[in-house]
């Protein structure tokens, strides 16, 4: 998949944006100047597990070529007819990423040193754009994900205001646990409502579970339908006019990578 996407981009047959996994891969392989022997993304068991298949499948030269390409991927696409971002379109955060790139160079080591430093404005903005804003679980609740990580926060419907929503309603995707359906949305969230009159926006990241893809609304669509977890590889056939509609989604079922 990496080779297909990169070749299409390099032959001007496709455009791509950076996501959190590409950013993580760069940070995982960039030394931390403040801690000799460490990397910007720590080589913990969890972080190594996330990238282990990539490391197994690529030679050292192939890995370096992939990392070099990742550095060229933009944070977003703003085309005349549509927009693309990995997780969250926030104009203020995107402008900050652009300003930092003008000063430091996009995805240079100097840029990554700031972007990976918790507490900096660049870290905050790149986290929102690449991973999306979140809200803390109610009443100190935690959940353990499939990888064994204990989670204390949920992804949100950042593109909508939370007015009238329960905690479960405002999760994205929703998780209708009794503890969530009865809980309010925290007051300290920071959404980025997407205007109804803005160009169509396509994004990924959110592991949607629906078996039939559909737009979120007339100018918003998520294209992540959990292909890495027995879902569907999903695309949208964009015709350039009118509202986004379900009939224009194209899906391919997941297939095992193991030899038949």
Model confidence at 259: pLDDT above 60: no
Consecutive H or E run containing 104: helix 91-104
Here the tokens at position 98 are 């652009």
The pLDDT confidence band at residue 234, using thresholds 50, 70 and 90, is: very high
| Mean predicted confidence (pLDDT) in 68-87 | 98
The pLDDT value given to residue 147: 78
**Dihedral angle at the C-alpha atoms of 185, 86, 53, 35, nearest 10 degrees?**
-80
Contacts with 211 (C-beta within 8 Å, 6 or more apart), sequence order: 232
The pLDDT confidence band at residue 258, using thresholds 50, 70 and 90, is: very low
The pLDDT confidence band at residue 148, using thresholds 50, 70 and 90, is: confident
Which residue has 């007015």 as its token pair? 163
Share of the chain above pLDDT 70, in %: 98
Name the β-bridge partners of 169. Answer: none
Confirm if 180 and 156 have CB atoms less than 8 A apart: no
Here the tokens at position 235 are 């695309």
The pLDDT confidence band at residue 256, using thresholds 50, 70 and 90, is: low
> CA geometry: angle at 6 spanning 102 and 214, to 5°?
90
pTM higher than 0.85 for the full model?
yes
| Mean predicted confidence (pLDDT) in 89-114 | 98
76-78 and 83-85 beta bridge pairing: antiparallel
Give the model confidence (pLDDT) of 115-129 as tens digits. Answer: 999 999 999 999 999
The pLDDT value given to residue 57: 95
């Amino acid at each position: 998949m990496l080779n297909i996407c990169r070749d299409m981009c390099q032959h001007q047959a496709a455009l791509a944006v950076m996501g959190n996994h590409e950013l993580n891969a760069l940070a995982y392989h960039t030394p931390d100047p403040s801690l000799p022997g460490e990397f910007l993304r720590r080589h913990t068991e969890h972080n190594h597990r996330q990238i282990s298949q990539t490391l197994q499948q690529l030679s050292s030269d192939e890995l370096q070529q992939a990392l070099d390409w990742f550095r060229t991927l933009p944070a977003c696409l703003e085309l005349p007819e549509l927009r693309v971002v990995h997780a969250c379109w926030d104009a203020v955060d995107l402008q900050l990423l652009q300003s930092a790139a003008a000063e430091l160079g996009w995805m240079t080591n100097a840029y990554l040193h700031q972007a990976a430093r918790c507490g900096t404005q660049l870290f905050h903005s790149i986290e929102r754009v690449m991973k999306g804003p979140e809200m803390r679980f109610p009443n100190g609740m935690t959940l353990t994900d499939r990888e064994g990580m204990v989670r204390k926060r949920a992804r949100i419907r950042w593109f909508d205001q939370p007015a009238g929503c329960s905690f479960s309603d405002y999760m994205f995707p929703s998780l209708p646990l009794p503890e969530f359906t009865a809980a309010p949305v925290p007051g300290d969230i920071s959404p980025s409502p997407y205007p109804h009159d803005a160009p169509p926006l396509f994004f990924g990241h959110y592991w949607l579970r629906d078996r039939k893809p559909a737009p979120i609304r007339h100018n918003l669509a998520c294209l992540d339908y959990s292909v890495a977890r027995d879902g569907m590889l999903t695309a949208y056939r964009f015709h350039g006019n009118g509202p986004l509609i379900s009939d224009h989604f194209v899906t391919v079922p997941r297939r095992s990578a193991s030899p038949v």
